[in-house]
Chain A
Amino acid sequence: KAGVTQTPRYLIKTRGQQVTLSCSPISGHRSVSWYQQTPGQGLQFLFEYFSETQRNKGNFPGRFSGRQFSNSRSEMNVSTLELGDSALYLCASSSLPTDEQFFGPGTRLTVL
């Protein structure tokens, strides 16, 4: 069974731009969560989706948004990028929200 895949793996943007990151969960998994990982703050929860509905949202500004499609694939969008948005963005999937989560390799975003 293929694992969680994230595209692109690396991204370089400049301040003020916007970016879209994609996540394909493990086949059959309907729950997708996103996390931001930085050296200073560690791993912080961004969003949780289940069956195309956002069920929970972390403490991030409105510039961070996401969605989930009917095939369970998910995207997250960051608008008006700031230097502090540079991070590794991780996606995790599970069969149900309360099940074990499997993480993808992440997308490394660098904002210049």
Chain B
Amino acid sequence: AQSVSQHNHHVILSEAASLELGCNYSYGGTVNLFWYVQYPGQHLQLLLKYFSGDPLVKGIKGFEAEFIKSKFSFNLRKPSVQWSDTAEYFCAVNDDSGYSTLTFGKGTMLLVSP
């Protein structure tokens, strides 16, 4: 079975600091990769996704992620965080079975202090 691990459960940053959230998955086949964000009191929203092609993908709100197949990683980055980025971030994987099933990491709670 697949699994997804997110390296940090809680991250605290000051505004304008750079962000990198780690995500590793365990599946040897073709994968689709996602980062979702859950702002306080809101539902899960897609930040970005990787299906194929350029391994560096850009998402909304200045976020980007890089797929490194050899490291089974899909790390999320943002050069300069804002207070409004305070949220919980989830990495998710979908394999090539044809199902929509997403396997999620446990999430990383990001707190950005003004």
Which residues of A approach B to under 8 Å, CB–CB?
31, 33, 35, 42-45, 48, 50, 55-56, 58, 90, 92, 94, 97-106
Contact B101 A56 (CB under 8 A): yes
Which residues of B approach A to under 8 Å, CB–CB?
32, 34, 36, 42-46, 49, 90, 92, 94, 98-107
Contact A101 B43 (CB under 8 A): no
Contact A101 B102 (CB under 8 A): yes
Tell me, rounded to whole Å, the shortest Cβ–Cβ distance linking A62 to chain B: 19
Contact A105 B100 (CB under 8 A): no
Contact B43 A106 (CB under 8 A): yes
Contact B104 A42 (CB under 8 A): yes
Q: Give Cα distance in the complex from A49 to B104, angstroms.
A: 19
The 6 closest A-B pairs by CB, nearest first: A43-B104, A97-B100, A103-B44, A42-B106, A105-B43, A56-B99
* Contact A43 to B43, CB < 8 A, known contacts A48-B99, A101-B102: no
Residues from chain A with a CB closer than 8 A to the CB of B106 are: 42
